[in-house]
Amino acid sequence: MPMARRIACLLALAVLLNAGAARAAEQPQAVLQAYIDKFVSVLHDPSLAGPAKKAMQSERLWQVIQGGFDFQGIAIVAVGANWRRFSPAEKDEFTQYFAQLLRNNYLKKIQENYRQQQVRILSQEIYDGKKALIKSSIGHPNGDIPVDYRLWLREGRWQIYDVTVEGVSLVQNYRTQFNDFLLKGTPAGLVQRVKEMVAREQG
């Protein structure tokens, strides 16, 4: 009699502990670490090394990035309150081309400058259970570079919505530019401008 109860308690405890572990696995720090590891593993992949494979490596890196970054959310916070002035079609076009702009600008640079730098995650802070600030440091011979990631919980998973390098936030930087533009220009004009920049890079 006591045996059955004891087993029942142990099993219940095991289930409870498991549930706790599942919650811990959703910690933003773990999510970010997993993405960084995946990203670095693509950079280290010998089958993608060399100038001939640059495009393929870029494609694979982009897939990892799309899994971790919330480009729809980034577009919204980069434009800010002015987002309400955009029509639904403009919103979609802007999100699409802005993501492409970020890809063109940053992915190539990372590919070219990657020299086995180490990314060390230093700390994590969670706000209201839905936003997180994770500080990291990227090793560099001339001095480590502090990089902060901001993540939020959207649609059931933690995603990156801003990156801050040496204290300069990407989203903030674009918001200042977009606000300035939209003081005199229209959302359609901004979409056009971003499209032109993307076309220029591709051309």
Partner 1 sequence: MKPLATLAGMLLLALLLVGCAARQQAQAPQPGPPAGQAPARPPVARAPAGAPPAMAAPNPAGGGPLDSEEAILADLASEPQAMTTPAVADPLEPINRGIFRFNDVVYIHVLDPAARGYKKVVPPEVRQGLKNFLDNLMFPLRMVSSTLQGKFERAGQETARFILNSTLGIGGMGDAALDLFQIPAPPQEDLGQVLGAWGLGHGFYVVLPVMGPSSLRDGLGWLGGSYLDPVWYLPVDFWEAAGIKSLDWFHRYSFVEGEYVDLVAGAVDPYVAVRDIYLQYRARALRE
CA 26 to chain centre: 16
- Please, how many CA atoms are within 13 Å of residue 59, restricted to the half-sphere of its CB? 5
- In the complex with partner 1, the residue whose CB is nearer, 47 or 142, is 142
**Interacting positions 36-95 with partner 1 (CB under 8 A):** 66, 70-73, 76-77, 80-81, 83-84, 88, 91-92, 95
Among 143, 184, 202, 203, binds partner 1 (CB under 8 A): 143
Using the rule CB under 8 A, is 104 a contact of partner 1?
Answer: yes
- In the complex with partner 1, the residue whose CB is nearer, 50 or 155, is 155
Among 21, 22, 52, 184, binds partner 1 (CB under 8 A): 22
CB of 47 to partner 1, least distance (A): 28
CB of 73 to partner 1, least distance (A): 6
Query: Which of 156, 133, 120 is CA-nearest to residue 26?
Result: 156
Among 116, 128, 184, 202, binds partner 1 (CB under 8 A): 128
- In the complex with partner 1, the residue whose CB is nearer, 24 or 52, is 24
Calculate ∠ Cα 62-83-97, nearest 5°.
30
Determine the Cα–Cα distance for residues 37 and 62; give it in Å rounded to an integer. 14
Determine the Cα–Cα distance for residues 84 and 91; give it in Å rounded to an integer. 9
The interface region with partner 1, picked from 27-35, 51-59, 116-124, 151-159 by CB under 8 A, is: 151-159
**Interacting positions 159-188 with partner 1 (CB under 8 A):** 162, 166-169, 171-178, 180-181
Contact assessment for residue 142 and residue 154, using Cβ atoms and an 8 Å cutoff: no
24-27: which pairs have CB atoms within 8 A and are 24 or more residues apart?
A: 26/157, 26/158, 27/124
